[in-house]
Structure 1
Amino acid sequence: MPTTGLPELQIYGRGGWPEIVVRVFDSASWCGTVPSGERLRPPVEAEGGRGLELVNALAVEHGGRWGAHRSRSRLGSVPVSGKVVHFALPVRVPWCPPRRDCHEAARELRRLLAARGIGPLHLNDGLRMAVLSVRAEITAWVRDETFFVTLPSSGAVCRPVCDIVEVTEGIVRCNEDLGAPE
């Protein structure tokens, strides 16, 4: 098992919007709003922030998008809080993983969230539907190969079950934001 708190790289395909997503996690504390425009370029003497220029250039050049937010680690013996910088680039061919029933998708979402230190989690399987309660403000329903997730920051969100990584990260992000000091 890797040492807790080391940087992490995650690359995956999204099927809902055909794109490839790259995420880089680090355990440094969240420092607020991500700079944009002229503020994106750090001063010459700065020791950090140049990676954001690179990410922005890639996204602009290839019609993608990028951002940063609070998150939790995926690797290591104990999940830790930190931040993630991500960018997504469109691909020409959609990624279509094998079909997954709602119960299997809900169990996998529960496993991914528990691995990130989110819990306690409550799963209820029903007829062609499963419900995962994360906390009072966050609930995920799985039905007809679709996740329906309530997040206070963005309301109801619908994603195909093939985008389970994106759904997981959205829940982790919201959970971290809700638990963050004001």
Structure 2
Amino acid sequence: MTKAATLCGVPWTLENGGCTALPLPPDETIAGVARAHVANLLPKAGVRDADDVTLMVSELATNALLHGTPRSADGSRKPSAGAELWVYRRGDGRGRQELVVKIFDELRCWRRRTSAGPMPEHGRGLDIIDMLSGGRWGHHASRSRLRSPQVSGKATWFAVPVRGGHVRPISADPAHAVEELGALLADRGLAASPAAPAGLAVGGRAVWCERAAFHWCGRDGALVRMPVADITEVCEQLVLLHEAAREGA
């Protein structure tokens, strides 16, 4: 899986654990561009309720434009490369597959719902996502895929179930799977050095592959295991750990 294949946005990149990624315009066309791209992927992704999904995409994109764009002191938008749309498949932890739609923006934090009142005005679109996704949404620290050099920010996401079985692993060979993961991490600006047997050292954290799964220790010290087929999600989780460690430094 090469970066060129990731950038082109063709549906079949989803079938082997890959991610389709698209730069989004930093203007009012963002929702339409994001919606059209995801709508093109849905038939081959095995998603039901396409109308609900495209509505959630619109709300996610609009939220990124209005509240994920850096602003000057006077409230005007600063020049920005715009948000990024990411789409990939992963296991849902219950033996089924789901399609994940994420939009990355440059701002790490945003205002949250308070106990004293409802979501602020800019959060109403997220209420729609919460309702239509059955609560299967969230946000986390991340870094860009399509910029060089990479920038830190956050990814806001939702997930919906898909028809079909598990996606096939990129490779059942541990050494090859580790090589692929190292390439994905390098694309995100994370250095990963080989470690024996069939492993990587990523920012002082050991990641290894055995029995068609990646293993590492999370922030709480608990062992995390994810199948090789979910290599994109594995990369996301390791990026998240890296960004969280930077914040705690």
State the TM bucket, normalised to the shorter chain: 0.7 to 0.9
1:77 aligns with 2:148: yes
Return 5+ residue gaps in structure 1 as ranges: none
- 1:178 is aligned to 245
Which one of 85, 89, 105 corresponds to residue 177 of structure 2? 105
Runs of 5+ unmatched residues, structure 2: 1-6, 8-22, 25-79
Structure ranking higher in helix proportion: 2
For the 8 Å contact 1:5–1:73, the answer to whether it is kept is: no
Aligned partner of 2:66 in structure 1 is none
* Aligned-pair CA distance for 1:54: 2.8
Contact 2:113 2:120 in 1 (8 A): no
How far apart, CA to CA, are the structure 2 residues paired with 1:40 and 1:59? 19
Conserved 8 A contact 2:215-2:226 = yes
Cross-structure match for 2:234 = 167
Q: 1:5 to 1:170 in 2, by over 3 A?
A: farther
State how far apart, in whole Å, the 1-side matches of 2:222 and 2:81 are.
31
TM-score by length of 1: 0.80
1:89 pairs with 2:187: no
How many residues matched?
169
Letter in 1 for 2:199: V
- When the two structures are superposed, what TM-score results if normalisation uses the length of structure 2? 0.60
Aligned-pair CA distance for 1:30:
2.4
2:123 corresponding residue in structure 1: 49
Please state how far the C-alpha of 1:155 moved relative to its aligned partner: 2.2
| Pairing partner for 1:19 from 98, 104, 111 | 98
**Structure with larger RCO (C-alpha < 8 A, sep 6+):** 1
Q: Give 3-state SS (helix, strand or coil) of 2:233's partner.
A: helix
Give the partner amino acid of 2:105: D
Query: How high is the sequence identity, in percent, across the aligned residues?
Result: 37
* 1:21-50, Cα deviation, whole Å (9 max, x unpaired): 111111113248x5489866323xxxx333
- Deviations along 1:111-139, one digit per CA (max 9) or x if unpaired, are 111111112x211353xxx1111022x22
| RMSD value, Cα | 2.7
Rounded to whole Å, the distance in 1 between the matches of 2:114 and 2:100 is 20
- Helix, strand or coil for the counterpart of 1:175? helix
Letter in 2 for 1:28: L
Larger radius of gyration: 2
Distance in 1 between residues matched to 2:168 and 2:117, nearest whole Å: 39
From the two aligned structures, give the one with the greater strand fraction.
Answer: 1
